[in-house]
């Protein structure tokens, strides 16, 4: 029996790298793509081939898609995992940052899908797994631009799952919670204006998430594998206990209750009991230290 093949973007570390290993260990051929290739990466996995790809280079997306199809003959699953997080108040976020966020997180996903839809259609089927975020269903302050980009990913995924159904093509979405990934350690802080007016509120909000125990990226990677291989009619899957918990909380709380809870997170730092509760919710297995920006981290408001 011929092994199936998966194409994965953003595979150099974190969730993408774990996904490469899970698929490879399950006997799949893997086209692992990333912006910068580390020599010897995945050298212990003979069924993995590494390709250089920046998803914001749309010509390169077409070229690499064709190259992987030539190399493997057929691609069965495409995992759109590449992305990064921009954070900070909208007022302080430059338009260049907003455009860059969308070019990677949204336009890159759309371009990769466009590159492989004809191949899937000609083969009578295929599966796209688009990695969005818990932020695609719950928008958080300070991460408004990032959240909006992930809402866009969820939106195009849902539409394409219907639009492409006549061709046997499935689209699945994964919503990870907080995972130990470079997306959190290499965040792009807002760069314009006077940050001091927002500093205490940003600091209060980030203090609930900084240096915390979070989900290991293998959790999200396993969810990606399940989404790609399961015959169950499940369009959208959460990854991480925190994602499931917060989505359930959002459904149960009234709009006013949810709003007040979020605003309180800006007005005052979390209490020790709140931090313990957050750790319990996540029950994480890895630690993450988020990026810090001195301009946005002033005196804590109490």
Q: Residue 218's pLDDT band (boundaries 50, 70, 90)?
A: confident
Strands 286-287 and 213-214: antiparallel
DSSP state of 258: H
Q: List CB contacts of 22: < 8 A, sequence separation 6 or more.
A: 218, 221, 222, 224, 225
pLDDT higher than 90, residue 193: no
- Across the chain, mean pLDDT equals 86
For residues 114 and 41, the answer to whether their CB atoms sit within 8 Å is: no
Q: Residue 292's pLDDT band (boundaries 50, 70, 90)?
A: very low
Among 84, 87, 102, 146, the active-site one is 146
DSSP state of 113: H
Beta bridge partners of 78: 7, 128
Q: For residue 197, which of 89, 82, 70 has the smallest C-alpha distance?
A: 89
CA distances from 264 to 215, 229, 248, 259, 302 (A): 25, 41, 20, 9, 11
Q: What angle do CA 170, 128, 34 make, to 5 degrees?
A: 175
Contacts 24+ apart (CB under 8 A), 92-100: 92/190, 92/191, 92/192, 92/193, 92/195, 92/198, 92/296, 93/145, 93/190, 93/191, 93/192, 94/190, 94/191, 94/192, 97/145, 97/188, 97/190, 97/191, 98/145, 100/56, 100/188
Helices (H) and strands (E) in the chain, counts: 11, 11
Most confident of 65-74, 214-223, 230-239, 267-276: 65-74
Phi-psi region of 192 (alpha: psi -120 to 50; beta: other; left: phi over 0): beta
End-to-end CA distance of the chain: 63
Task: Read off φ and ψ for residue 73, nearest 5 degrees.
Answer: 90, -40
14-18, 112-116, 217-221, 285-289: least confidently modelled range: 285-289
Q: List CB contacts of 163: < 8 A, sequence separation 6 or more.
A: none
Instruction: For residue 83, give both structure tokens.
Output: 């992305």
Give me the mean pLDDT over the 58-77 stretch: 98
Please say if 146 is a catalytic residue.
yes
Give me the mean pLDDT over the 105-116 stretch: 98
Give me the mean pLDDT over the 114-139 stretch: 96
Domains (ranges, CATH) in the chain? 5-197+215-240 (3.40.50.720)
Residue ranges of the alpha helices (H) in 55-142?
58-72, 95-102, 108-123
pLDDT higher than 80, residue 14: yes
Give me the mean pLDDT over the 149-153 stretch: 97
Q: Residue 2's pLDDT band (boundaries 50, 70, 90)?
A: low
Q: Which residue has the tokens 């605003």?
A: 263
Q: Residue 210's pLDDT band (boundaries 50, 70, 90)?
A: low
The predicted pLDDT at position 111 comes to: 98
């Amino acid at each position: 029996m011929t092994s199936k093949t998966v194409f994965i973007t953003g595979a150099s570390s974190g969730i993408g790298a774990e996904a490469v290993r899970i698929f490879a260990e399950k006997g799949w051929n893997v086209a692992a793509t990333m912006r910068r290739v580390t020599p010897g990466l995945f050298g212990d996995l003979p069924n993995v081939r590494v390709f250089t790809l920046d998803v914001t280079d749309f010509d390169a997306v077409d070229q690499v898609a064709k190259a992987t199809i030539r190399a493997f003959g057929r691609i069965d699953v495409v995992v759109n995992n590449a992305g990064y997080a921009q954070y900070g108040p909208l007022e302080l976020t430059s338009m260049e940052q907003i455009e860059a966020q969308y070019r990677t997180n949204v336009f890159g996903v759309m371009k990769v899908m466009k590159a492989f839809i004809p191949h899937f259609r000609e083969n009578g089927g295929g599966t796209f797994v688009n990695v969005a975020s818990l932020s695609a269903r719950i928008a958080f302050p300070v991460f408004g631009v990032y959240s909006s980009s992930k809402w866009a990913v969820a939106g195009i995924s849902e539409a394409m799952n219907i639009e492409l159904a006549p061709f046997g093509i499935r689209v699945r979405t994964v919503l990870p919670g907080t995972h130990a990934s470079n997306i959190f350690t290499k965040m792009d802080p807002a760069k314009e204006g006077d940050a001091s007016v927002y500093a205490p509120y940003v600091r209060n909000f980030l203090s609930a998430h900084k240096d915390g125990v979070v989900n290991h990226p293998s959790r999200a990677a396993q969810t990606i594998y399940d989404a790609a291989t399961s015959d169950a009619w499940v369009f959208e899957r959460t990854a991480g206990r925190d994602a499931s918990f917060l989505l359930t909380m959002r459904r149960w709380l009234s709009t006013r209750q949810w709003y007040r809870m979020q605003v309180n997170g800006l007005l005052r730092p979390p209490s020790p009991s709140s931090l313990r509760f957050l750790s319990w919710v996540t029950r994480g297995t890895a630690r993450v230290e988020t990026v810090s920006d001195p301009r946005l981290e002033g005196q804590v408001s109490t």
